Each structure stands twice: as C-alpha cells, then as structure tokens.
Amino acid sequence: MERTSTQVGGLGSLIPVSLALLGVMVANLPISFTGDHVPAPLLGLMPVYYWCLYRPDLMTPAWAFFIGLAEDILAPGAPGVWALSFVVTYAMLQGQRDAFAGLSGIGALLAFATAALIACGTAYLIVSFLSWRLLPLGPILGELAATVVLFIPAASCFSFLQRRVVGASRNEF
C-alpha cells in the first residue's frame, strides 16, 4: 500500500494536535450554551485520548503536555494542573493501549470515561493539595460528565478523519 501525502508525512499528521488545540480554544470561549450550569468539557483531552491510542506517533507525551499547558493558559486556575493531568492520563493510556484500542461501543465509551476520570481526578487532587483542603466535587464531576457525553459524537468525527485523512499507523503498513 502506498502512502499518500495526507497520510503519514503531510497535512494529515497535523490534524490530531490541531483538533486538540482547537478543542481547548472552543471549550474556553467566554460563551456558555448552558448558562454556566454545566462546566465546559475537556475538548482538548478527546483528541489526546483518541490519537494516543490509534496514532501515538502523531500524539506524543510532549504534545499531551503542550495541549494541557494550553488548557492551563486559557482556563482559569493554577498553572500546570491540566498539563500534568494530561500527561498522567497519557501515561496510563500508553500502558493500556492494546486493551483500550480494541474496544468498541459502550466499552470504548467506558474506556474514555476512565481516562477522563483520571484526568479530572488528577486535576482535582492537585488543586485540592494546592488549596490545602478538599474542594467540592460538583464542578469536576460536571466537567467529567460533559466531557464523556460529548466524546460520543467526537469519536465518530475522529474515526472518520482517521480513516479518510490521517491514515493508518506506520506499523500497520
């Protein structure tokens, strides 16, 4: 099978990180469709999760850190919280890559929910530690729920882009 320019070396290789950065920007726009009743989802985590499993050559730990850092810069809160949370989540995903990448349907959604729980839980623990007290769980659980629910349509979009634009993993050729 011959590689096209949109697969490994071309514009397709920019899609995972570009979508993650776009997700961070969209999630942190000063607009709320829910009247601020539901926290903004972690739209930047979704591409990190997806492409960490299916194309780790395009979504490296350094990119996960950079995307988390972008979340830290644009979102209110302590600097470094989301950068560390995304890297911790990435490390967990690398260890479970074969198991998680083979899942479909509700299993795939539960795998993402686990990854999002790790990211949110890490952020919660860091901020609680920095505050020297346990913070209310409501906001982080709302963010977790919104993130998991929105992953359903996002995963379909990522799958389409993976098949049509980004291309198969290098080790699958």
The total domain count for the chain is 1
The rounded mean pLDDT for the chain is 90
Report pLDDT digits (tens) over 95-135.
999 999 989 999 999 999 999 999 999 999 999 999 999 99
H runs (alpha helix) in 28-105 = 45-54, 61-74, 81-95, 97-101
Q: Is residue 3 part of a domain?
A: no
Residue 5 inside a domain? The answer is no
Domain with 118 in it? 11-168
- C-beta of residue 47 within 8 angstroms of C-beta of residue 63: no
Query: Is the model's pLDDT at 168 over the cut of 70?
Result: no
For the record, the structure tokens of 146 come out as 């919104």
**3-state DSSP assignment of residue 109:** helix
- Given a cut of 70, is residue 171 above it in pLDDT? no
**In this structure, is residue 82 part of a structural domain?**
yes
* Any domain includes 42: yes
The pLDDT of residue 167 is 77
Mean pLDDT of 19-39: 87
- pLDDT for 150: 96
**Assigned domain for 31 exists:** yes
Name the band, by pLDDT with cuts 50, 70 and 90, for residue 4: very low
Is residue 2 one of the residues assigned to a domain? no
CB distance 61 to 83 below 8 Å: no
Q: How many CB atoms lie within 10 A of CB 164?
A: 10
Is position 1 within any domain? no
Does 43 map to a domain?
Answer: yes
**pLDDT tier, 166 (very low <50, low <70, confident <90, very high otherwise):** confident
